Structure 1
Amino acid sequence: MSEQSNLAAVLHGAKDLRLTKRPISAPAPGEAQVAIKATGLCGSDLHYYIHGRNGEYVLKTPMCLGHESAGIITAIGEGVTDYKVGERVAIEAGVYCGACRLCKTGRYNLCTKMRFNSSAKVFPHQDGSLQSLLNHPVTHLHKLPDSCSYEAAALVEPLSVVLHAARRAHIAAGQTVLVLGAGAVGLLALAVAKAHGATHTVVVDINEERVKFAVDEGFATSGYVLPRTPRPETSAAGLEAAKATAGDILTGYGPVDSDGFDVVMECTGVETCMQAAIHTARPGGKVVFIGMGTPNATLPISAAAFREVDLLGVFRYANTYPDALALFGSGRLPGVEKLVTTRFPLEKVNEAFEALLAGKDKDGNMIMKLMVGDY
């Protein structure tokens, strides 16, 4: 092992991602060393790659990217008894303190001392999993069912976000669900809604190819391609446009004998979509804001308050990994692995990010979910 090295994709600044050979370090007490087999790239990774920051979290020192990962244990640290070399695991990326009020009440995703893989929120930054080997606390590793592939296990991280959202919204059998955004998270939201028994699922996106994929692959009952229009010049014009968009969605795709959807899952973070989401929910319905794209959105709060539409926020997830893995193991998420459309080896990670930025692979095919790993 002394002659080997750990290959890592380390971001030094905007568009400055370097493959770096690092010494292999032994896992500390309570940790296991995981050979990473698959890592999904997501929007936050892309923001760091393009801008050297993700929102208000600015890169201060070089940081290894990636946090949607799974692999196989290659070494264990002192005191570890529940895991052994050779076991396959999904990696829960956020390491919380476990001692604060939020952690003790089961809402550890809101822990102010959270250290999250590939996040510059904390300093020193927490390295991510776009590397050959990662040492990680075993308390945040989850054994895979035999039927769960490494790619499916890497999808558990974004799946956990929407599973947390579904819990917040109390999605139940027989309900109707609208999802705004037909990216990987939106399609996972549709899959979770169907797994919970939703009977009428509709997806909306400006990308016709993504909407078609969602419907053809059975994620949604139907889909609406939102026309591309110029950005409204004023907030008032934007609110009116969003209300009109909501009317078009309800007229063409709304539930029969209903004036809205039971649950609306907003996965874009685009202000006009966030506004339309409120108008598409039925009286007494729920809107869950999953996408994070508009820091200070203007929302039609009166339209929600007067109809008792609950507006719910989502930040990552808590206590979801066991149930998410069980969903994969039970077969209640048919076709979800079709979301993985594009694969790159770690050695070509820069090409992977450029492809993700373009939204197409070298042959012009749509990228839904891109994986980097042991390919």
Structure 2
Amino acid sequence: MSNSYQSNTSFILKAVEDVVYEDRPVPELQDNEVLVEVKKTGICGSDVHYLTHGRIGDFVVNAPMVLGHESSGIVYKIGSKVKNLKPGDQVALEPGQSCATCEYCKSGRYHLCADMVFAATPPYDGTLARYYKLRSDIAYKLPPNMSLEDGAMIEPTAVAVHSVSTLAKFQPEQSIAVFGAGPVGILCMAVAKALGARRIVAIDIAPHRLEFAKNYAATDAFLPPKMEEGESKSAYSARAAALLKKEFGLSDRGDNSVDVVIDASGAEVCVQMGFHIIRVGGTYVQVGMGPDAQVPFGVMMVKELTVRGSFRYGPGDYQLAIALVSQGKVDLKPLVTHRFEFTDAVAAFNTTKTGKGPDGKGVIKAIINGPKSSNFYATAATAALLVSAAFAFAQPLQLDADPSRGQKKSGSARAKTQTPQTENLISYDEVQKHNTRESCWVVIRGQVYDITDFIPKHPGGIKPIVANAGTDATEIYESIHAKGLIEKMLKPSQHIGALDPSTAPAPNPEIEVEEERIANARAKLPPLSYVLNLNEFEELAETVLSKTAWSYYRSAADDEYGGSRIGFLTTMKY
């Protein structure tokens, strides 16, 4: 395949609250590795902590480091020995690569490897770049019904799977209490629900997060009382735990007890409360990382608790996370509350840090899109000057220099044939001869393009293009892509000329029937103000898009331009 690369634009932490965009060398592959073009990256609390403090415990940022580790993307190139993946595959990235030879790796606990190379953990670079390489066995191919956004969310989902399933060994009809309703805590609730939980109690100090948790997965939500003046942490924890147990009728034994407690907050008072509310013989899992805490050892001993620490994820956790999502048992879409372009990474980090986006809404998870096509770097270079000058968290920088913003949406799904702009008329018979991966021509709006060299770069993979090679692909193209995108993606030399109108194929009557169906559906659309959420948008979108366009959207294959599912949905013809 083609070895031509675009600039490997990367979002780099140079020092505390000092970030820049830089072009890094494209990583060279080993035989067992794949090069992934990163498309979606979620922001984790650890990313923000490195940004604002320069360290987490013993991990200190001493040199410039690319941030990000919750990512998905499209396989761009594979090593010579890779058999499980091919260019164009959409994958979720497991960002930790172990040595595979130590006692922990060989005993099935590779996440405890002392030589772990983990993305965005000093001194190793993360995934907020155009390209990232990793071993092929930890790049997990996404099922067709999962989007790249889902793929980026698999990393925190795997953390939840490791805590709830692998460590706590959660069983159907058990009950669980989760402290901390951030992304990981909420995902722990979701995994427990998927595994058949009888009761899920969410505990957090933020009312909006508790409300989200209750609507998403929890059966009960508890807002702890405020600490009284002069009250010690241990006294407060005992008092708050007693109030929680009283409010929900919890006991230390029997059907009304809590079998498993997960602390995803790292706060000392939450750790202590967890020991007080858990049942005798229960399992406590610490997944949130915080400062050293005073633990009520007496309670732990008398209840004979099983106490486990949880660190990242291990064998089988990614696979189970993907299975739960692909089977519809865990829905990741509601968790992504804010989306940003790569040029707006500063705003994305600011949003995660403050817990509130530019729209004033509370944040659960913010996602950053991968760098756009080759014109990105000029934009990012300008942005970098602003970023390095002042990383203003109090007043988020607005780096909206993306030239694709503000463009008009495409017109009808089937545009009229353009007037030929060249005397080089090409017959349809000639176009049909170029119908292979090695020589691929298509007709779009009466113009003929040679897209052979573009195939490896196509975000949706090779198959959709090759399936339409040597044909007039206007209908499928217009139903999926924004108007004018092809001119942005291809070089001028790839425009072969205009199609000879006298040789053009006759209109497909099935297409005309489909267009009539879509037109009728659009006429019945309700006012935009009646549509309240993303799910309602999707229900309407399915009625007004062609079957091909809807399938393409559902697979998130048009990620390069669409940017986000919400951005795509706004192209519906209101």
**1:41 to 1:109, Cα distance in 2 relative to 1, 3 A:** same
1:127 paired residue number: 125
Cα distance in 2, alignment partners of residues 111 and 216 from structure 1 = 38
Cα distance in 1, alignment partners of residues 118 and 341 from structure 2 = 24
Amino acid at match of 1:340: V
Cα distance in 2, alignment partners of residues 105 and 3 from structure 1 = 39
Q: Could you say what secondary structure the match of 2:352 adopts?
A: helix
**1:151 to 1:255, Cα distance in 2 relative to 1, 3 A:** farther
2:205 paired residue number: 206
1:251 paired residue number: 246
Cα distance in 2, alignment partners of residues 182 and 3 from structure 1 = 41
Amino acid at match of 1:355: T
**1:128 to 1:45, Cα distance in 2 relative to 1, 3 A:** same
Cα distance in 2, alignment partners of residues 16 and 301 from structure 1 = 42
Deviation of the 1:170 alpha carbon:
1.2
2:87 paired residue number: 85
Amino acid at match of 2:277: T
1:88-120 superposed Cα distances (whole Å, 9 cap, x missing partner): 111111100111111111011111111101001
Greater share of helix: 2
2:284 paired residue number: 287
1:168 and 2:131 correspond: no
Greater share of strand: 1
Amino acid at match of 1:88: Q
Provide the aligned length of Structure 1 versus Structure 2: 365
1:150 paired residue number: 148
Matches within 5 A, 1:105-116: 105-116=107-118
1:12-51 superposed Cα distances (whole Å, 9 cap, x missing partner): 0100111112233443322111111111111110101111
Provide TM-score, normalisation by structure 2.
Answer: 0.62
CA contact (8 A) 1:202 1:253 kept: no
Cα distance in 2, alignment partners of residues 231 and 78 from structure 1 = 66
Q: Could you say what secondary structure the match of 1:203 adopts?
A: strand
Q: Could you say what secondary structure the match of 2:92 adopts?
A: strand
Q: Could you say what secondary structure the match of 2:239 adopts?
A: helix
Matches within 5 A, 1:1-375: 4-120=6-122, 125-166=123-164, 167-217=166-216, 219-229=217-227, 237-255=232-250, 258=255, 260-294=257-291, 296-319=292-315, 320-333=317-330, 335-374=331-370, 375=563
Cα distance in 2, alignment partners of residues 269 and 230 from structure 1 = 21
Give the greater-gyration-radius structure (CA).
2
Amino acid at match of 2:121: S
CA contact (8 A) 1:254 1:261 kept: no
Deviates more, 1:247-256 or 1:360-369: 247-256
Structure 1 consecutive aligned stretches of length 4 or more whose deviation exceeds 4 Å: 230-233, 254-259
1:44-74 superposed Cα distances (whole Å, 9 cap, x missing partner): 1010111111222110110101111111001
Deviation of the 1:348 alpha carbon:
1.2
Amino acid at match of 1:371: I
Cα distance in 1, alignment partners of residues 323 and 284 from structure 2 = 26
Which ranges of structure 1 fall in alignment gaps of 5 or more residues? Answer: none
2:413 paired residue number: none
Which ranges of structure 2 fall in alignment gaps of 5 or more residues? Answer: 371-562, 564-574
CA contact (8 A) 2:227 2:236 kept: no
CA contact (8 A) 2:97 2:134 kept: no
